[in-house]
């Protein structure tokens, strides 16, 4: 596993880490033992950063709970990133975020579900946030209490990121970036480099499409990807992505080879500290982690980008 600096924080983090949205049953049911084995397999294959969120899971918080159990005995060897902003929204009764105490409440709950004394990073989970004032005050309070070490935001908007970094205190950002979405390369990633903000890439496999295993006729039934079929516009966007993946098959075989290439593509950008693909089995976690053994050279990057256009 290659380790990269985590922005201005300087922490050595695995180039490929583990996103744990998938172990909370929103991507299809899995049992506790499978979830725990998935986390441990990632760790055994060099992963030292695990990403989660208070809202991940059915019920809310299940991903954090399972991750906390899985990390028993090795918590001191890893970094944990979680997120505040969506607790209860999916089930119809979101926590109001109108006071510092509400952020303290959420932060304390995260620590409890993860069975740890502190979180390395907490992120704002509202990607279109207009006014970051209350988040910044709440996160500073959690930092002062010792419950978090650093904080940042998950967003695809450069303007939102700049607003959140108004005081120069944003240490980490999560952004969607992949062979199917290279928009961050223009301005977003350069801004992060200039400001020492660690970049965590979510969606490096485009929610599984960059495995090459799906066709335009695929109908997803999990609670996350079913939205791709909810309107003609969303279906068309899905099919356009599948078309690009079909072109990619001209230079890389579908399956494990394509997954590895896609993860290495995102991890190879100099602004990126780590990519956080999800997994639902020990084998899948191991395959993803092994992609972190090396980065791609310029010719390999060019072959991939030329293929998808």
Active-site residue set:
56
Contacts of 88 (CB under 8 A, 6+ apart): 55, 60, 94, 95
The 8-class DSSP code of residue 227 comes to G
- Residues 33, 36, 42, 47: what is their CA dihedral angle, to the nearest 10 degrees? 180
- Cβ atoms within 10 Å, residue 298: 8
Q: Which of 265, 202, 209 shows the shortest CA–CA distance to 242?
A: 209
DSSP annotation string for 117-134: S-EEEEEE--TT-S--HH
- Bridge partner list, 18: 50
Q: Which of 107, 92, 164, 166 shows the shortest CA–CA distance to 139?
A: 107
Token pair of 230 as six digits = 């909810």
């Amino acid at each position: 596993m290659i380790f990269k600096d985590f922005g201005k924080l300087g922490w050595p983090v695995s180039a490929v880490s583990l996103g744990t949205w998938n172990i909370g049953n929103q991507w299809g049911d899995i049992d506790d033992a499978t979830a725990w084995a998935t986390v441990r397999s990632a760790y055994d294959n060099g992963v030292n950063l695990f990403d989660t969120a208070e809202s991940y899971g059915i019920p809310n918080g299940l991903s954090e709970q399972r991750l906390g159990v899985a990390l028993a005995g090795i918590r001191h060897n890893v970094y944990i990133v979680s997120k505040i902003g969506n607790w209860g929204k999916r089930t119809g009764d979101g926590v109001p975020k109108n006071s510092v105490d509400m952020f303290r409440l959420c932060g304390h709950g995260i620590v409890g579900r993860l069975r740890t004394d502190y979180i390395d990073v907490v992120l704002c989970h509202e990607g279109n946030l207009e006014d970051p004032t209350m988040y910044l005050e709440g996160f500073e309070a959690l930092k002062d209490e010792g419950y978090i070490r650093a904080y940042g935001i998950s967003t695809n908007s450069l303007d939102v990121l700049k607003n959140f970094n108004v005081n120069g205190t944003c240490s980490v950002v999560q952004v969607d970036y992949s062979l199917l979405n290279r928009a961050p390369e223009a301005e977003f990633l350069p801004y992060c480099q200039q400001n020492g903000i660690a970049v965590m890439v979510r969606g490096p496999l485009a929610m599984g499409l960059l495995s090459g295993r799906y066709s335009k006729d695929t109908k997803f039934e999990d609670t996350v990807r079913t939205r791709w079929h909810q309107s003609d516009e969303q279906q068309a966007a899905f099919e356009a992505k599948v078309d690009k993946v079909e072109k990619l098959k001209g230079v890389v075989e579908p399956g494990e080879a394509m997954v590895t290439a896609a993860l290495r593509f995102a991890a190879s950008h100099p602004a990126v500290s780590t990519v956080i693909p999800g997994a639902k089995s020990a084998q899948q976690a191991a395959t993803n982690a092994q992609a972190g053994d090396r980065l791609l050279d310029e010719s390999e990057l060019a072959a991939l980008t030329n293929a998808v256009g």
